[in-house]
A and B are shown apart, each in its own frame.
Chain A
Amino acid sequence: MSVLPYAVAAWLFGIGLYGIATSRNFIHLVGCLGVCQSATYVLLLGLGYRWGGIAPIFYDHPPGTPAVDPVMQALVLTDIVVGATLTALLLVLTIQAHKRGGSLDPEKLRPMRAGGTSGRGQGASRVSDREQSTS
């Protein structure tokens, strides 16, 4: 078994993680998550591959013909379903966040933090407004 699939899987996961870590746009981030997930596809298919094996469908092959591992293919199928669910859910959340926050930048949509539209900055500005009005 060649090391190439492992190397590709590690590279894909690493580059996807790098993309997530540096992303400034939620849609780009969802794409990077998809890249991370393709690492698992490559890894699983690579692990299940048999040189010279056929697809694990024995309709027109005699039983016992060498085939690639069907369990791994089932795992990949499940993984694809999970991936579709996650992407759909994240895109819905992104659309809603854009509707409410008017931005797709993670820096501008921080939960309860300084600088975010919903963050402590708002609380602080509220306080300073009040100070101005009282003075």
Chain B
Amino acid sequence: MTAFPAALLPLPVAIPLVICAAMLATAHLLPARLPDILATLSALTVAVLCGVIAVRAADGPLVYWFGGWEPRDGLHLGIGFSVDEASGWVAAFIGLLYALTFVFAWGFFDRTHGHFHILMLLFLAAMVGFCFTRDMFNLFVWFEVMSVAAFALTAYHLAESGLAGAINFTVVNSLAGFLMLGGIGLIYAQTGTLDFEGIAAAVARGGRDPVVAGAFCLVAGALMIKGAIVPFQFWLADAHAVAPSPVSVIFSGAMVSLGLFGLAKVSAVVFGASDQVQHALPALLIGLGCFTALLGGWMALLQRHLKRMLAFSTISHAGIMLTGLGALSVDGTGGMLVYVVGHGLVKGALFMVAGILLATQASIDEIALRGLGRGIWPAGIAMALAGLLLCGLPLGLLDQGTRLIQGALAQQGHGIALVAGVIGAALTGAAVLRAAGRIFLGLGPDPGDEAGAPSEDEREKANRPLWLMLGPCCALLALDMGVPAGLIEHALPRAASAFMHRPVVDAVSEGPGWLPWASVAAALAGAGYGLLRNHLPALLVLPVRATQSAPTRALEALHSGLIGDYAAWLAVGVAMIAAVLAMA
């Protein structure tokens, strides 16, 4: 290995950090649009660098030890970055998502002195560091930097609803940080090292050990809180719904799935040799994943606040990713990694459409916006396309990830998870398509007096041209559909095996070809039912409405917005993980 690529590894983290420090120091001197340009360029640089690193990492993971503190005689004292191909590509995707988000947010904030860009670059550096690190405590540090940047960005507008959402987000995710730190302390006490490989070797030597299981319980709980898995999902809908649109793009597109990315890495690499953990994982991940996929989809269908609906759809898709992880196979994890990228692209595009509606129509309420989107029909096409991709239209990265996950689940006989994933995707697709039909085609019953929006009047800066906002949105969708499937098929078995530190598999299996179509058909039927309910024969309408009411009201009541309830659910969730681990 030449010295050149290894020395490159810290750069994608260092560049945004240096730029954001320089911008903070000169914030009051910079001309108006310079922060936009600088931020976009540095995000692009990060994307390109990560892409180069990923290409170089194809033959084996690249390792960089900070300060030259390489391990000697199996003793790890230094902190290192270790990048395999899959981590490199995920980081490259994150860089690109940021670059497009910066374009989308061009001129979004008037008097910011670049503070928005500074926070976003900090957020970006933390995410790339999170992908690259091979040290448990370093992982925690990036996790916390990511969280703090996210908290500040959520409350950026300092509007009332934004503040309440940001406080809930901050408290729940801080608790996640404490859990993670506790878990890291336990695993360090047991193994005497913080390096992923060192811990893995020590865990393999140790055999069944309650301290290791306890450490995994705490770390996994923390990552699942970040990944918005039921029963930890409550913070997400509050935070995503109120954050500024460009921030929501990053939250849903990258931050939530990074939690699950971290869980995949930790469970495969660090705790891969613990039989107790590996026995508990399928039941735990697939059970929670199914539940999350269904609950998120159902809640998405009930929302009329567009961003809140998209937030619940993110929860549902996080559940689907978790089921892929639960297959514990190279196919499943590989599928989940492709799904992370595909979902990030599509969901990012959808949040951009929501941002466009907020900017041009000054509303985010599906009912109030009925028919108002006709003037900006290109956004409608983008939204409908994204909705179809979301529910499984067999095209592009998201679909490829879905089919890989389905293949892995089918191979191991997890029929329930397969069905839950299809229903979850169909429900979220139905919700998005229903909103697209209502807003851009004016379908659905006339709301009349119901038109009052459920939240305070929201509006985002309006004087930006439509093409500037729609361009990045279309670029995201084009990227999702444009990446050649053959390329992924070729690279994935190798990349996913390297990611999981397992021997290379020859090929990965894919699920049955008709499943995505079933999901699309269900989504179209659901959206059609929502929009044309008044025109359907009464026989068809009544029974469905009757089953909707009671459990639905209970679910709505559960999402109370009260931080106290969320903390109680958090305790229940951690206890649940501990119970499953204890029984394994």
Q: Which residues of A contact B (CB under 8 A)?
A: 9, 13, 17, 20-23, 26, 29, 33, 36-37, 39-40, 43-44, 47-48, 71-72, 75, 78-79, 82, 85-86, 89-90, 93-94, 96-97, 100-101, 106-107, 109-113, 116-120, 122-124, 126-127, 130-131
Given A71-B188, A130-B452, A13-B178 contact (CB < 8 Å): yes
In the assembled complex, the CB of B378 is this many whole angstroms from the nearest CB of chain A, namely: 29
Given A26-B167, A47-B188, A78-B141, A101-B175 contact (CB < 8 Å): no
Evaluate contact between A111 and B161: CB separation under 8 angstroms.
yes
B254 at the interface (CB under 8 A from A): no
Q: Which of B51-59, B144-152, B423-431, B539-547 contacts A (4 or more CB under 8 A)?
A: B144-152
Given A17-B571, A44-B185, A106-B563, A120-B454 contact (CB < 8 Å): yes
Evaluate contact between A118 and B455: CB separation under 8 angstroms.
yes
A20 touches which of B161, B164, B194, B563 (Cβ 8 Å): B563
B164 touches which of A17, A23, A97, A120 (Cβ 8 Å): A97
Evaluate contact between A116 and B164: CB separation under 8 angstroms.
yes
A17 touches which of B144, B165, B189, B567 (Cβ 8 Å): B567
Question: Residue of B at shortest CB range from A107?
Answer: B562
A75 touches which of B170, B185, B561 (Cβ 8 Å): B185
Evaluate contact between B568 and A131: CB separation under 8 angstroms.
no
Q: In the bound complex, how far is the Cα of B159 from the Cα of A47, in angstroms?
A: 43
In the assembled complex, the CB of A86 is this many whole angstroms from the nearest CB of chain B, namely: 5
B186 at the interface (CB under 8 A from A): yes
B450 at the interface (CB under 8 A from A): yes
Q: In the bound complex, how far is the Cα of B455 from the Cα of A111, in angstroms?
A: 8
**From A39, A71, A82, A107, residue with most partner B Cβ within 10 Å:** A82
B17 at the interface (CB under 8 A from A): no
In the assembled complex, the CB of A48 is this many whole angstroms from the nearest CB of chain B, namely: 8
Q: Quick one: which of B129-145 are within 8 Å of A by CB? A: 137, 141, 144
Number of A-B contacts (CB under 8 A): 153
Return chain B residues, CB-CB under 8 Å to A79: 181
Evaluate contact between A118 and B570: CB separation under 8 angstroms.
no
In the assembled complex, the CB of B368 is this many whole angstroms from the nearest CB of chain A, namely: 10
B456 at the interface (CB under 8 A from A): yes
In the assembled complex, the CB of A97 is this many whole angstroms from the nearest CB of chain B, namely: 4
Evaluate contact between A112 and B241: CB separation under 8 angstroms.
yes
Evaluate contact between A93 and B167: CB separation under 8 angstroms.
yes
Evaluate contact between B160 and A100: CB separation under 8 angstroms.
yes
Q: In the bound complex, how far is the Cα of B242 from the Cα of A102, in angstroms?
A: 19
Q: Quick one: which of B450-481 are within 8 Å of A by CB? A: 450, 452-456
B454 touches which of A39, A94, A112 (Cβ 8 Å): A112
A86 touches which of B160, B174, B186, B194 (Cβ 8 Å): B174
Instruction: Render B161-175 as a binary contact track against A, CB cut-off 8 A, 1 for contact.
Output: 111111110110011
Q: In the bound complex, how far is the Cα of B181 from the Cα of A111, in angstroms?
A: 29
B170 touches which of A47, A90, A109 (Cβ 8 Å): A90
Evaluate contact between A90 and B167: CB separation under 8 angstroms.
yes
Evaluate contact between A118 and B161: CB separation under 8 angstroms.
yes
Q: In the bound complex, how far is the Cα of B456 from the Cα of A101, in angstroms?
A: 12
Q: In the bound complex, how far is the Cα of B542 from the Cα of A4, in angstroms?
A: 61
Question: Residue of A at shortest CB range from B170?
Answer: A90
B560 touches which of A39, A110, A120, A131 (Cβ 8 Å): A110
Given A111-B238, A112-B305, A20-B171 contact (CB < 8 Å): yes
Return chain A residues, CB-CB under 8 Å to B182: 9, 13, 39-40, 43-44
In the assembled complex, the CB of A73 is this many whole angstroms from the nearest CB of chain B, namely: 12
Evaluate contact between B454 and A21: CB separation under 8 angstroms.
no
**From A86, A120, A127, residue with most partner B Cβ within 10 Å:** A86
Evaluate contact between B163 and A97: CB separation under 8 angstroms.
yes
Q: In the bound complex, how far is the Cα of B98 from the Cα of A126, in angstroms?
A: 38
B415 at the interface (CB under 8 A from A): no
**From A21, A78, A100, residue with most partner B Cβ within 10 Å:** A21
B209 at the interface (CB under 8 A from A): no
B455 touches which of A23, A96, A109, A112 (Cβ 8 Å): A112
Supply 29 A–B pairs (Cβ within 8 Å), ascending by A.
A13-B178, A17-B571, A20-B171, A20-B567, A21-B568, A21-B571, A36-B175, A39-B178, A40-B181, A44-B181, A47-B186, A75-B185, A79-B181, A82-B177, A89-B170, A93-B163, A96-B155, A97-B164, A100-B158, A100-B159, A100-B163, A106-B167, A106-B562, A110-B560, A112-B242, A113-B561, A123-B453, A127-B450, A130-B452
Evaluate contact between A40 and B564: CB separation under 8 angstroms.
no
